[in-house]
Amino acid sequence: MRFVVLLFLYLKLIRNINGANILFIGALASPSHYIWNKVLSTELVRNGHNVTIITHDYDSTKMENYTVITMKGFYEHLENEFPAEKYMLENNVFNFIHQSVDYGAIACTFDFSTEGFKVLMDYPQNFTFDLIIYDITYPVCLYGLIPRFNNPPVIAVTAFLLNPYVSYSFGNPLQTSHIPHYCSKFTNQMNLRERLTNTIYSWADILIYKYISIPRQTAITRAVFGQGMIPPWDEIERNISLLLVNTDPAFDYPMVLAPNIIPVGGLHIKPAKSLPQDFEVIYNKAKGGVIVFSLGTNVKSNILNKNHTDAFLKVFSTLKQVVIWKFETGVLENVPQNVFIRKWLPQNDLIGHSNTKLFITHFGALGTQEAMYHGVPMVGFPVFVDQHVNAAKLAEKKIALYLDYESLTYENIYNTITEVLNNPMYKNNIVKISQRYKNQPLTALERAVFWIEQVLKNGDVHYLNVPTRDMPMYQALNLDVILLITICLVFIYAVVKSVFRCCLYVLRMFKQDKVKEKMM
C-alpha cells in the first residue's frame, strides 16, 4: 500500500515536469558545440521532454520528440565572408576580439535569412515553449526568439569556458588575478605584467562586447522582429535563470562561482564503447600501445603543411606504438607501417581504450576533457581561441606538453612525444584527475538535467542571484568606495603635509629668533 502511495506521489511529481516543451537555441555555429548541446538535449528527451533545437549543423538523427531545425548553409557562407585563415593562428587578442564583433554581425544577418529561422517564426503565435535553453557563447541576436515565444523561463548553456562577459553578466566576480583570459597563453600563476595584461584583456572583452558588439546585434535583431518587440538586451539577459557552463573543478583551475552558475564540465563524455571491427583489429596488433592523433571539428588536418606532416610521420616511424591519425584533408605520402590514416575516428572510444597511451591534439575543450576523463596524457599544438590557454593549463597540471605551431619540427615533436610516453609522471597525474572527476555524487549530465528540471518545476530561481548581477558596474566593483577612500587619503595627506609644513615653519622661526638672540 505504502509503495503504491509512494509510486503515485512520484508519478505526480514527475508529471509536473514531464513532457515539457523545450526550445534549444544553438546560436553558435560550431560542430563541437552541437555535439555537446545534442548530448544535453537528447538526455532531456530521454527524460520525457520534447526538444526542438535550432542550429547550424545538419543532423539526420531520427528520434521521437527530438526535432532539429537547421539554419542551412552557414559554414559555407562563412568560408566566403570570413575565411578561416582570418582567425585561425591569430595571436593578437585585440584583433581576435575585433573580428568576433564582425563575426557576430555576419552570423546574425545570416541566421535571420535562413529557412530554418522562418520555420520557427511561422509557429502559431500562441505556441508555447515551457523553457528556452540558449547557447550563450556567441552571438546573442537569437535572444529575439525569447519574446517571440512569450518569455518562458530561459537557461543559458555553453560548451565553452566561463568567458569574462558571461561571468560578468551573471554577477560573478571576474578573478583576473588568477583566471587567464581565454585568448591568452597564461596559466593561473601570473606575474605583475601578466596580471595587468590579463585584466586589460578581460575588461576590453567585456566593454567591447557590451558597448559595440551587442548594440550592433540588437540593431540587426530589431530590424527583423520590429523595434517594439525587443526589450533592452540587459533586461533579457538579467532574466536568464541559470548558466550551465562546461567547466569542472577537477578539470579546470579552482575559481569562485556564483550559485546561479552550475559547472557541468564534460557532460558530453560517455564511457568508451567497444570499437568498430576495423579499429579492433589495429588495437589487437598494437603490442606497444596506441597513439590517437586527432584535431577537432573546427581545426582540420589541413592546418598542417607538408613539412609538418613529414616531421610527424618521421617521428612516428621511430616509435614502437601504433598511431591512428584522423587526417581528413588530402592524402599523405610515405606513411610508415605503424601509422593508420582515417578520415573519421570514434574519438571518445579510442581515447577510452585501455591500450591508448597518448592523445595528440590541438587542445580543443571537448577532446582534452575526454582525455582527462579517460586518463590519457596529451601532446600537441594549440591553434586558436581557448586552445592556447587550455594547453597552458594542462602543461601546468603536468599532464601534457605542447608546442607552438611555429616550432613543429622533427626534433621538438620527437622530444615531447617521447617525454610524455616514457615519463610516468604524466600518466599518474592524469589518472588522479580522472578519478577526482568521476568521484562525484552526480554526473555532469545528471546535474545539468537536475537544474533544468528545477527551473521547469519552480520557474523562478532568482534566489540564486548574487546582488552584483543587478548593480551598476561601478557599485558591483565598489569603484565609488575606492574613489571615496582615495579622496580621503589624498585629503589626509594634504592636511598632514600642511600641518607638517606649518610646524616646520614655526620651528624655523623659533630657531631664527634664538640665533638672533644669541648674536645680540
The contact set with ligand NAG (CB under 6 A) reads 19, 21, 48, 50, 52, 64-65, 67, 124, 126, 151, 153, 231, 235-236, 239, 305, 307
18 or 512: CB nearest ligand NAG: 18
Distance CA 28, CA 34 (A): 9
CB of 151 to ligand NAG, least distance (A): 4
CB of 348 to ligand NAG, least distance (A): 25
50 or 199: CB nearest ligand NAG: 50
262 or 378: CB nearest ligand NAG: 262
44 or 174: CB nearest ligand NAG: 44
Distance CA 139, CA 136 (A): 7
174 or 315: CB nearest ligand NAG: 315
**22 forms bridges with which residues in the sheet?**
51, 131
5: enclosing H helix or E strand? helix 2-17
SS3 call for 436: helix
Residue the block writes with cell 594547453: 391
CB of 163 to ligand NAG, least distance (A): 22
Cell digits of residue 497:
603635509
CB of 180 to ligand NAG, least distance (A): 30
CB of 89 to ligand NAG, least distance (A): 13
Distance CA 221, CA 8 (A): 47
Residue the block writes with cell 593549463: 393
CB of 117 to ligand NAG, least distance (A): 14
67 or 188: CB nearest ligand NAG: 67
- C-alpha distances (whole Å) from 104 to each of 141, 202, 215, 218 are 8, 18, 11, 11
Residue 455, CB half-sphere, CA atoms under 13 Å: how many? 25
CB of 144 to ligand NAG, least distance (A): 11
154 or 430: CB nearest ligand NAG: 154
Q: State the amino acid at position 465 in one-letter form.
A: N
CB of 58 to ligand NAG, least distance (A): 17
**Which candidate, 147, 159, 114, 153, places its Cα nearest to that of 130?**
153
> 271: which DSSP letter?
P
> 397: which DSSP letter?
T
CB of 312 to ligand NAG, least distance (A): 14
CB of 299 to ligand NAG, least distance (A): 18
Contact present, 186 and 198 (Cβ < 8 Å): yes
SS3 call for 342: strand
Distance CA 309, CA 132 (A): 45
239 or 274: CB nearest ligand NAG: 239
Contact present, 2 and 9 (Cβ < 8 Å): no
CB of 303 to ligand NAG, least distance (A): 12
CB of 234 to ligand NAG, least distance (A): 9
232 or 467: CB nearest ligand NAG: 232
- Could you tell me which residues come within 8 angstroms of residue 405 by beta carbon, excluding any fewer than 6 positions away? 89, 303, 381, 382, 383
233 or 253: CB nearest ligand NAG: 233
Q: How many CB atoms lie within 10 A of CB 512?
A: 10
Residue 252, CB half-sphere, CA atoms under 13 Å: how many? 24
Contact present, 339 and 323 (Cβ < 8 Å): yes
Angle, alpha carbons 214-218-224 (nearest 5°): 155
Cβ-based burial of 290 (10 A; exposed 0-12, middle 13-18, buried ≥19): buried
64 or 76: CB nearest ligand NAG: 64
232 or 441: CB nearest ligand NAG: 232
Distance CA 10, CA 519 (A): 106
